[in-house]
């Protein structure tokens, strides 16, 4: 595995005319990331992984500081997976000035995480723009746990970059909680509590698939979750294709953001 600490050196040394898969991460790698890497290795000749904790997508400084960083462990994992290239850039290498750190999104898109984390996706799109302007990968692999993120990135890069996005299924613990780097900040008891929320939502989703009339019981679902002393940031049902509220049995998706202590978790079914 070749490690690059400069995106410009990476651009000079790597032949992007080849079939290259790109997996952007913020590190603290888990089984979700590993599944993305394995998907890339199956589809592409070479796989590039980036580890960059992007400051512009954090709307709280404390959240950025607390975000788990496990670089030595991550490098060992990537070497075991036989990843071809690893990019670990500095902030100054990605952003030349503060203007580059945000991309505006439309008012219509300021829903769910975009509403409750102002500036978050503006920062995500900014880093994707900086990456793809130098990394001309054929494919980029992203996890469906961040479903809204995939939607906004797809919308942003169309007609701008040739890279094709490959969405990959959410990987879950046996107890149904989605793998997340933030899980490293939770205790075993917290993980158990978060898992119970995922189970409740999954059960509601499956019942609604069988009988769409269950959709009207969303407030009962909210109350059930709140009864476990969980702070819900949002719990919404939206169209999985365009994020509108025009839903039917085949296009509905449940989105949730909630807190376990001070740790923010998201999920969708």
Active site residues: 33
Cα–Cα dist 87/157, whole Å: 21
Residue 237 φ then ψ, to 5°: -110, 125
Identify which of 77, 87, 85 has the alpha carbon closest to the alpha carbon of residue 2.
85
Is there a contact between 49 and 79 (Cβ–Cβ < 8 Å)? no
Identify which of 246, 228, 226, 230 has the alpha carbon closest to the alpha carbon of residue 238.
246
- Long-range contacts made by residues 202-210, C-beta under 8 angstroms, separation at least 24? 202/176, 202/269, 204/254, 205/254, 205/269, 208/252, 209/249
Max CA separation in the chain (angstroms) = 57
37 burial (CB, 10 Å; 0-12 / 13-18 / 19+) is buried
Cα–Cα dist 6/30, whole Å: 24
């Amino acid at each position: 595995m070749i490690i690059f600490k400069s995106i410009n050196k990476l651009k000079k040394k790597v032949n992007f005319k080849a079939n290259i898969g790109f997996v952007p991460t913020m590190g603290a790698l888990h089984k979700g990331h590993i599944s993305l890497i394995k998907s890339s290795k199956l589809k592409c000749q070479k796989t590039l992984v980036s580890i960059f904790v992007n400051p512009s997508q954090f709307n709280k400084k404390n959240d950025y500081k607390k975000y788990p960083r496990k670089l030595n462990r991550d490098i060992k994992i990537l070497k075991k997976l036989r990843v071809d290239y690893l990019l670990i850039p500095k902030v100054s290498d990605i952003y030349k000035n503060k203007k580059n750190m945000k991309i505006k999104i439309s008012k219509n898109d300021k829903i769910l995480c975009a509403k409750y984390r102002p500036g978050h996706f503006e920062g995500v799109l900014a880093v994707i723009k900086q990456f793809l302007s130098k990394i001309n990968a054929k494919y980029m692999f992203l996890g469906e746990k961040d479903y809204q993120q995939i939607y906004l990135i797809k919308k942003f890069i169309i007609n701008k970059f040739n890279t094709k996005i490959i969405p990959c299924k959410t990987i879950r613990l046996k107890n149904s909680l989605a793998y997340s780097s933030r899980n490293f900040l939770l205790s075993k008891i917290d993980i158990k509590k978060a898992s119970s929320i995922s189970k409740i939502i999954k059960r509601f989703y499956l019942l609604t698939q069988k009988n769409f009339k269950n959709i009207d019981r969303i407030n009962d679902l909210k109350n059930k979750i709140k009864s476990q002393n969980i702070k819900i940031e949002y719990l919404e049902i939206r169209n999985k294709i365009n994020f509108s509220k025009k839903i039917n049995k085949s296009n509905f998706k449940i989105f949730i953001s909630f807190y376990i202590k001070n740790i923010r978790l998201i999920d969708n079914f």
